[in-house]
Amino acid sequence: MKQDSKHPDVFDISKAVIELLPRELRDQIYTYVIGVSRGRTTICDGKLPHYLRSICNTMQSHHSFWNPISLHNYIDPSRVDKRMALEIVENYYATTTFYYDYHELYLMHKFLTVDCFGLNLQPADFVRSIEIVLDEAYKCRCNAKALLFHKLLPEQDCSPETAIQECFYQLFRLKANFVRIKVILYDVRGLRNVKSQQELLMILHPILCELDRKGHHVVLEIFSAWGSEWSLEGFSEMSLEHLLQITR
């Protein structure tokens, strides 16, 4: 690998770190260096055609996850040993909580399958923490239209309910033995729209149960403007009837 002549010391240091330090210690270094100001990463792209983005006013063109400026210098193979670049990206996926707003949940497939760093690594192999926020607008057709646009759903079956199922099915791509998956039902106006919440739970229950059976830590929370109202886990042992009863 050709080194950057302006940064030979950096390349040599990265190579020494790889060769002299154990992986556990290297991961601690990576977490500190790239994680101090990172926090939670919102998955967004901002590349949908305007006529799709404008379907609901909550879809915004945010800074794209697929342009991770903060990581460029850390994974540039002309500056750091390629083995270090690979480990940094693995660490980034494994130690970051990736957050989805419902209206951009269609990006789940792209996020988990696209090698955006060009290092032949699939995010689905390393991700350990995902948060998804849903609200009473979950029937908005933005996800269905986006999935159709990207040819991820057949045109004859593009209801909002089918769209949300398809988005959540992408979680089965996760390869890690233990992933923290938090689903938050957000009560925007504090009115506890029970009917809407229960319809949503009927869609999600079988998916959450299967994820729980696979060994993932699945948590369901209801949040309002005043904070968390309740939190549930252990879905593999919870019937749909029981879930609906305790959330009334």
At 107, list the tokens: 């990006």
Q: Averaging pLDDT over each range in 42-51, 189-198, 205-214, which range is the top one?
A: 205-214
**92-117 confidence digits (pLDDT tens):** 899 888 888 887 888 899 899 988 88
The answer on pLDDT for 246 being more than 60 is yes
Report DSSP state, residue 237: G
Where does the pLDDT of residue 36 fall: very low under 50, low under 70, confident under 90, or very high at 90 and above?
A: low
pLDDT at position 55 is 43
- Own/partner long-range contacts of 66-73 (Cβ < 8 Å, ≥24 apart): 66/114, 66/116, 68/116, 68/117, 70/34, 70/38, 71/34, 71/117
- Locate 64 and state its tokens: 């794209």
Per-residue model confidence (pLDDT) at position 248: 67
For the cut 80, the answer to whether the pLDDT of residue 46 exceeds it is no
Average pLDDT over residues 43-62: 49
Distance CA 232, CA 164 (A): 20
Instruction: Work out the pLDDT band at 1, boundaries 50, 70, 90.
Output: very low
Please tell me the predicted confidence (pLDDT) of residue 60.
Answer: 40
pLDDT tens string 130-157: 999 887 777 788 888 888 888 888 777 6
Any idea of the CA torsion for 90, 92, 94, 99, to the nearest 10 degrees? -140
Distance CA 136, CA 45 (A): 23
Please give the residue that has the higher pLDDT: either 146 or 170. 170
Alpha-carbon span 179 to 196, nearest angstrom = 27
The whole-model pTM stands at 0.83
Average pLDDT over residues 177-188: 87
- Contact, 121 vs 86, CB < 8 A? yes
**How high is the pLDDT of residue 38?**
57
**Cβ atoms of 102 and 143 closer than 8 Å:** yes
Angle between helices 8-20 and 82-95 (to 10 degrees): 70
Task: Grade residue 184 by pLDDT with cuts at 50, 70 and 90.
Answer: confident
DSSP labels for 80-140? S-HHHHHHHHHHHHHHPEEEEEGGGGGGHHHHHH--TTSSS--GGGT--EEEEEEETTTT-
